[in-house]
Structure 1
Amino acid sequence: MPSTLSYPGVYVEEISSGVRTITGVATSVTAFVGYTRMGVPDKAVPITSFSDFERAYGGLDRDSPVSYAVRQFFANGGSQAIVVRVATGYASAAWTLQDSTPAAVLDVAAATPGAWGNGLRITVDHAGARNPDAQFNLVVSQLQADGVTLRPLETHRNLDMNSASPRYVESVVNNASALVTAKRKGGLVFNRAGYAVSTAVTFPLTATDLVIAGVVNGATAFKLTLAGPAPGNMADLASAVNTAIGTAGLTAALQASESGADGGAGTGCLKLASLASGESSSVVISGGAFGGLSGSIQLGLANGGREFTGNAQHRPADASNLVPPVKGVDGARAGATEIVGTPGSKTGMYALMDADLFNILSIPETFDMTDLQAAAVIPAAVDLCEKRRAFYIVDAPSGKNLSNIATWANGVTQSRNAAVYFPAVSLVDPLDELRPRAMAPSGSLAGVYARTDANRGVWKAPAGTDATLNGVLDLASPLNDLENGQINPKGVNALRNFPAYGRVVWGARTLKGSDAQADEYKYIPVRRLALFLEESLYRGTQWVVFEPNDEPLWAQVRLNIGAFLQGLFRQGAFQGRSPREAYFVKCDSETTTQNDINLGVLNVIVGFAPLKPAEFVVIQIQQMAGQIQA
């Protein structure tokens, strides 16, 4: 009802329908953890193409299984990935820039560790800067393959050393550059901004027409003309400048006086000061020498005087194409301990704790580990996936064969949120003259998962004749039907080679998929559908928290979750001929008792009937008996 009913008539108001649409989350965002040649260590970075990976992480590298896995992921239909670089012994290329004193004033470093930064070159100049007496330009170039040619990649203009400036070097470079970072040396002291001081003035002056041009307070341009006879002493010079200031209408902005060389009390120099309040006030002399005085009076750094704009001091001296004196180092592949990392510092795989969402985890590094090393990584990865409602595609250590792969897989973990595949895949290696190379299959499989999700839905098993492995030259150990039958009942999925279809995924069981366990999440699509529902409902019902816990809220919950599940039913996500057979949502006084209400608890029960893959197809054939006359 409207808050105030004051006049006879019709009042119209809108009321809420209680409908809050639940949107399904992504299902195939894949996280890759391992060594890369470039990139920020221990940070989860999203990418959407292999080109992104090449720019941020250096592309394919023979020491980086992750690089091949990411390439295979996008080649097989993946669209969103997250990369965590884990390495040891890395270092960044770095420079220390000096001012004219000389004294170290600015540290510049390659944006990410690695030898790639050794090809960068730094140039410092003030040509074309808005305030050439105080600002400078920083140019970052790349040494080309010929070892001689330099290609400019970034130019950062009008940089200031004063943190009070909107063009502060750290703020500008660190937010705009993809190649370098900047850090001002600590302990630098800046004089108060707001005035410029000339060099010592020698009398008598002989010119009769003197001009000072510049900018005051960073915005107001001015030009002062001193007409008449040349001043004979500093008092006359300061008086003549102040007269010109009055003529120009700048009495409230500028004032001339005699000072010492540092702008303080003293004699011998002309000081031109801003009268505006605040440390940001400045006088910028852009007119060069003082009119026609042939260098007798000069204002500003470029002319040998001093200009106190705060940012004028400690400016890096001009330099051309500086080679990094501190060399970058790529580092080496990390061991099991570094790949796992620590939750507190969010290193290794725990950097993914900062990622909003990932659905699939791939750690191809385990393919090159011993069984003992892999046993340190895989359980930790499984635990992370179970906490984040993600699915882990386990890469078994190389050397596993048909006789021991099942024993190893069931010994290392028995998780509903994980699956293992056998055998390894063989890829064409562009870095080894296109020779075949055995690789972990998880990158290819993650791409197949993503492709199947996009084409059919997360409820469709990522297996079958449609689940072809693009970019896979061969399989390390071709399997026949009988060999496939040895590992499939034990929860190990086979990769097969069929003449008509090529290399395909021929299994869809989780590591709880052993027939002996009879687990309800035996199949990958059933488990992944459950994870999808859990994450979608978790995110889509946040609005319920702190709402009044009674029947109107329960009805809204049933309505919104029911509408979400109905949409999935119409897409074919559940079995059953009707919604009643496919799913249910229960949220009422039976699920939430008065005691629950008193404790602030709301209970919602959601049930669904998942589709199970047709893993075994049995065709019975018999002969028809001859026709018998009736």
Structure 2
Amino acid sequence: MPVALNYPGVYIEEVPSGVRTITGVATSVTAFVGYARKGEPDKPVTLTSFGDFERAYGGLDRDSPMSYAVRQFFSNGGTQAIIVRVATGYASAAWVLEDTVPAPVLEVSAASPGAWGNDLRLTVDRAGARNPDAEFNLVVSQLQADGVTLVPRETHRNLNMNAGSSQYVESVVNNASALVRATRSAGLTFNQPGFAVSTAVSFPLAVSDLVIGGVANGNTPFRLTLAATPGDMDDLVTAVNDAIGAAGLNAVLQATESGADGAAGNGCLRLASLVSGQASAVVVAGGAFGGLASALHLGLANGGREFTGNAQHRPDDAADLAPPTKGADGSRGGPAEIVGSPSLKTGMNALLDVDLFNLLSIPETFDMTDLQAAAVIPAAVDLCEKRRAFYVVDAPAGKTLSNIAGWANGATQSRNAAVYFPAVRLADPLDDLRPRAMAPSGTLAGIYARTDATRGVWKAPAGTDATLNGVLDLALPLNDGENGQINPKGVNALRSFPAYGRVAWGARTLKGADAQADEYKYIPVRRLALFLEESLYRGTQWVVFEPNDEPLWAQIRLNIGAFLQGLFRQGAFQGRTPREAYFVKCDSETTTQADINLGIVNILVGFAPLKPAEFVVLKLQQIAGDIPT
């Protein structure tokens, strides 16, 4: 708002330009849903390489079509994947650690379900902690393939059982560990007061050390002066007790716990000395103890040790504990597990928690029957349409040239989906590189990502540049005539050409049959529209609650127009000029007074998409010789 004008002079005011940059969203973040032996089930996890997948989910697995699809995705140009592990019958490796009583005090489990956790080993080390009287170290090791060698993987130091401490075991382990999770057992009570333990004491003490000051019981300050200089620990304990009695502080400083050596307290402040490993008494009071605390090295602050309430219920020392409760990988889920629950956000519905994904791959449908796939594909299409994403459908194995189009048209009629035929054959590293037929969606998702990065989302992910990296062969070779049978029905062909190798040779959505004449028959047109919708949705959030009048409409036209102009300059639209390529309309014609009264602002955006040159027609004509005149 303008500055207050209250004195003669020059005023400077910064005026906002009204420009709010709209940034285009990502276009090829691919979500994979399927089985893996390792990893947190029903939780979307973002990865940026197949190495990440190997660490988090175990890498290639014969029983996991998703693992091959993810590898193909990154091999073909994919850069960002979201993994949702779906499994049934799984279990996590687990330990229950006990204290010296013994009683259960700490429950530890592998970070994710699976038999992989059975190779983990736990070591509890109390003596090696920073404060061995109150803390402990937890070492996580892993058994190697030889079944003998243990390799330490993680060490969590100076842990305690106090939920109010910065070194609380649950907080430290659960935020730092990639291998285990820790939970303090329920029902534990912490009622042991703290005491400090001294190091070896050199007598006689200095005069300055004969003054003792501190705070007892958390809020009662005290100050004592010893009457005589003690010559040994017994003299010191006697002198301290006499000073307490003389000051009338017995009730305030009365000890309630036994000494460090188990002896009962003598009714007041007590001291302990760790001389030759022997302790005779302890200090029961909080705060600093003047010069005496420094001389005796009482507490961590003075280079000594402390036994606090945190020491209660600590796990007892243990070495290389194998998990008593074994983990289990579980098995591949059926259609119900793949789809999951929207309310519980399981299966593919775990993606409801993801901010953005553009492509969806569910390779599991390749191994399903038609009936099972029919329970998954419509749900996946519905999810993609709600989230402005695109689904690369994997047809069940066994489809032939004669029935693939009928199956595809019966599976879904969505603009947000595409299907490819035939399946791809990969050299399987788990089977001596023998060919194995696999779902093509992971490979195609990588090609989508590669094309987006090099040409843009408006370029069809097909043609001689759309090579299928890592594909040894196709399950069924197609010629031009066979390709012509399925292309007009909205099924995209995978072809093999001399010199070019295996390529994607189709760019139609499942609404792309010629008979439907849909305006979104082509994949690049549909994906460009989804890109514009998501980018403009996110880029116009600032409009909400702004004054709904001409200044707002002008800003909307300015900002959306600038965004579309940038895309036009990149070649995203058809047309020689911006007027031919796009328009933005937001004025009194689109937003009437009735709309304003209802709190509505209407923005009309039009664009002229580029359609792929699907059919190239060459016309040749002989030129007849000149006829003499």
TM-score, normalising length from structure 2? 0.88
Aligned counterparts of 1:541 and 1:552: Cα–Cα separation in 2? 15
Aligned to 1:120: 120
1:405 maps to 2:404: yes
Compared CA separation, residues 299 and 402, structure 1 to 2 (3 A): same
User: Which SS does the other structure have where 1:138 is aligned?
Assistant: strand
Shift of 1:86: 0.4
1:341 maps to 2:343: no
Aligned to 2:278: 295
Aligned counterparts of 1:174 and 1:232: Cα–Cα separation in 2? 46
1:363 maps to 2:362: yes
Aligned counterparts of 1:606 and 1:58: Cα–Cα separation in 2? 46
Q: Read off the aligned partner of 1:82 and give its amino acid letter.
A: I
Give matches, 1:506-545, under 5 Å. Answer: 506-545=505-544
Q: Output one character per residue of 1:479-528: Cα deviation in whole Å (capped at 9) or x when no partner.
A: 00000000000000000000110000000000000000000000000000
Aligned counterparts of 2:578 and 2:237: Cα–Cα separation in 1? 97
Aligned to 1:605: 604
Compared CA separation, residues 388 and 292, structure 1 to 2 (3 A): closer
Q: Read off the aligned partner of 2:43 and give its amino acid letter.
A: K
Which of 212, 220, 238 pairs up with 1:236?
A: 238
Aligned to 2:564: 565
Aligned to 1:261: 258
Aligned counterparts of 2:315 and 2:268: Cα–Cα separation in 1? 25
Q: Output one character per residue of 1:159-181: Cα deviation in whole Å (capped at 9) or x when no partner.
A: 01011111100000000000000
Aligned counterparts of 2:274 and 2:377: Cα–Cα separation in 1? 77
User: Which SS does the other structure have where 1:172 is aligned?
Assistant: helix
Aligned to 1:172: 172
Shift of 1:235: 7.4
Q: Read off the aligned partner of 2:538 and give its amino acid letter.
A: R
User: Which SS does the other structure have where 1:516 is aligned?
Assistant: helix
Give matches, 1:168-567, under 5 Å. Answer: 168-195=168-195, 227-229=229-231, 236=238, 238-239=240-241, 258-261=255-258, 268=265, 272=269, 290=273, 292=275, 295=278, 297-299=280-282, 309-567=308-566
Aligned to 1:87: 87
Q: Output one character per residue of 1:320-369: Cα deviation in whole Å (capped at 9) or x when no partner.
A: 00000101101100000000001000000000000000000000000000
User: Which SS does the other structure have where 1:16 is aligned?
Assistant: coil
More divergent stretch after superposition (4-13 vs 151-160): 4-13
Compared CA separation, residues 410 and 293, structure 1 to 2 (3 A): closer
Aligned to 2:51: 51
User: Which SS does the other structure have where 1:349 is aligned?
Assistant: helix
The unaligned stretches of length 5 or more in structure 2 are: 216-224, 285-304
Compared CA separation, residues 19 and 127, structure 1 to 2 (3 A): same
Shift of 1:3: 2.7
Q: Read off the aligned partner of 1:601 and give its amino acid letter.
A: I
Q: Read off the aligned partner of 1:407 and give its amino acid letter.
A: G
- The answer on whether the counterparts of 1:208 and 1:227 sit within 8 Å (CA) in structure 2 is no
Aligned counterparts of 2:3 and 2:127: Cα–Cα separation in 1? 66
Q: Output one character per residue of 1:124-148: Cα deviation in whole Å (capped at 9) or x when no partner.
A: 0023312100100000001111111
Shift of 1:261: 2.4
Aligned counterparts of 1:502 and 1:367: Cα–Cα separation in 2? 24
Aligned to 1:21: 21
Aligned to 1:40: 40
Shift of 1:623: 1.5
Shift of 1:258: 4.9
Aligned counterparts of 1:540 and 1:396: Cα–Cα separation in 2? 36
- The answer on whether the counterparts of 1:427 and 1:471 sit within 8 Å (CA) in structure 2 is yes
Aligned to 1:204: none
Give matches, 1:144-163, under 5 Å. Answer: 144-163=144-163
- The answer on whether the counterparts of 1:468 and 1:505 sit within 8 Å (CA) in structure 2 is yes
- The answer on whether the counterparts of 2:40 and 2:85 sit within 8 Å (CA) in structure 1 is yes
Q: Percent identity?
A: 75
User: Which SS does the other structure have where 1:584 is aligned?
Assistant: strand
Aligned counterparts of 1:539 and 1:84: Cα–Cα separation in 2? 25
Aligned counterparts of 2:616 and 2:98: Cα–Cα separation in 1? 76
Compared CA separation, residues 270 and 503, structure 1 to 2 (3 A): farther
User: Which SS does the other structure have where 1:464 is aligned?
Assistant: coil
The unaligned stretches of length 5 or more in structure 1 are: 199-206, 218-223, 247-251, 274-284
Aligned to 2:138: 138
User: Which SS does the other structure have where 2:484 is aligned?
Assistant: helix
User: Which SS does the other structure have where 1:139 is aligned?
Assistant: strand
Aligned counterparts of 2:433 and 2:244: Cα–Cα separation in 1? 79
Give matches, 1:69-108, under 5 Å. Answer: 69-108=69-108
Q: Read off the aligned partner of 2:550 and give its amino acid letter.
A: E
1:587 maps to 2:603: no
TM-score, normalising length from structure 1? 0.88
- The answer on whether the counterparts of 1:197 and 1:261 sit within 8 Å (CA) in structure 2 is no
- The answer on whether the counterparts of 2:241 and 2:268 sit within 8 Å (CA) in structure 1 is no
Q: Read off the aligned partner of 1:236 and give its amino acid letter.
A: T
More divergent stretch after superposition (127-136 vs 22-31): 127-136
- When the two chains are superposed, the root-mean-square deviation of aligned CA atoms in Å is 3.0
Compared CA separation, residues 22 and 293, structure 1 to 2 (3 A): closer
- The answer on whether the counterparts of 1:192 and 1:308 sit within 8 Å (CA) in structure 2 is no
Aligned counterparts of 2:281 and 2:403: Cα–Cα separation in 1? 86
Compared CA separation, residues 316 and 210, structure 1 to 2 (3 A): farther
Q: Output one character per residue of 1:404-426: Cα deviation in whole Å (capped at 9) or x when no partner.
A: 00000000100000000000000
Compared CA separation, residues 396 and 233, structure 1 to 2 (3 A): same
User: Which SS does the other structure have where 1:316 is aligned?
Assistant: coil
- The answer on whether the counterparts of 2:259 and 2:280 sit within 8 Å (CA) in structure 1 is no
- The answer on whether the counterparts of 2:423 and 2:440 sit within 8 Å (CA) in structure 1 is yes
Compared CA separation, residues 131 and 581, structure 1 to 2 (3 A): same
- The answer on whether the counterparts of 1:197 and 1:270 sit within 8 Å (CA) in structure 2 is no
- The answer on whether the counterparts of 2:94 and 2:108 sit within 8 Å (CA) in structure 1 is yes
Aligned counterparts of 1:535 and 1:323: Cα–Cα separation in 2? 50
Compared CA separation, residues 297 and 336, structure 1 to 2 (3 A): same
Compared CA separation, residues 557 and 2, structure 1 to 2 (3 A): closer
1:620 maps to 2:619: yes
Aligned counterparts of 2:243 and 2:437: Cα–Cα separation in 1? 81
1:110 maps to 2:110: yes
Q: Read off the aligned partner of 2:57 and give its amino acid letter.
A: Y
- The answer on whether the counterparts of 1:136 and 1:157 sit within 8 Å (CA) in structure 2 is yes
